[in-house]
Amino acid sequence: NKIMKIIKTKFKNLLIIKQKNNIDRRGNLREIFNQKIFKKKNFVFEYCTSSKAKALRGFHFQYNFQQAKYVNVLKGKILDCVVDLRKNSKTFGKTFKIILSDKNCLSLYIPEGFAHAFYSYEKMNIIYYKLTNYYKPKYERGINLLDKTLNIKWPGKKFKISKKDKKLGSFKDFLSNHNYL
């Protein structure tokens, strides 16, 4: 009876982690991280964020002090989406989407070199991150969530997007400014 199962994706080192949810009449217990199974030692920073329904956040990355991210949904349901921006990657410029929720107990390990975004479905969504580097706003950049060239079908039509995220440039802008991560 495995506590945690690691599932590979078509994207190199992008991993889905299936966790076991132990439920009884009092509530539940879910093991999110176990270094013996998920052998990642370099997490240095953790944070928790809440998002309301229809919130759309991203696409974010740090071009210096890059961060691998381990994304877990403690409450609610999100559509998590990444864009591969790694040099010489077979999946460069391609996107990967997955639903993460407190019900399906799936988490996503995103290696360095990806831009990250998500859409929130429920009234209250609580997302917990483990990261391999500290937040450095000076090196944070992004790609516009609604960029047509990424060809992402976000759920619904109306989104809650921050002013900062609305101002993010296109994938084309990323290519001319950075080429790759």
- Nearest CA to 16 among 80, 88, 61? 80
User: What would the DSSP string read from start to end of 76-97?
Assistant: SEEEEEEEE--TT-TTTT-EEE
Which amino acid is present at 147?
A: D
**Helix residue ranges, H only, the chain:** 163-166, 171-178
Rg (CA), the chain: 16
The answer to whether 132 and 44 are in contact (CB under 8 A) is yes
Give the H/E segment covering residue 119: strand 114-120
The answer to whether 142 and 61 are in contact (CB under 8 A) is yes
CB atoms within 10 A of CB 32: 15
Q: Which member of 63, 128, 129, 180 is catalytic?
A: 129
**Is 180 in the active site?**
no
Pair type for strands 77-84 and 27-30: unpaired
The answer to whether 54 and 120 are in contact (CB under 8 A) is yes
**Is 47 in the active site?**
no
Residues with catalytic function: 60, 129
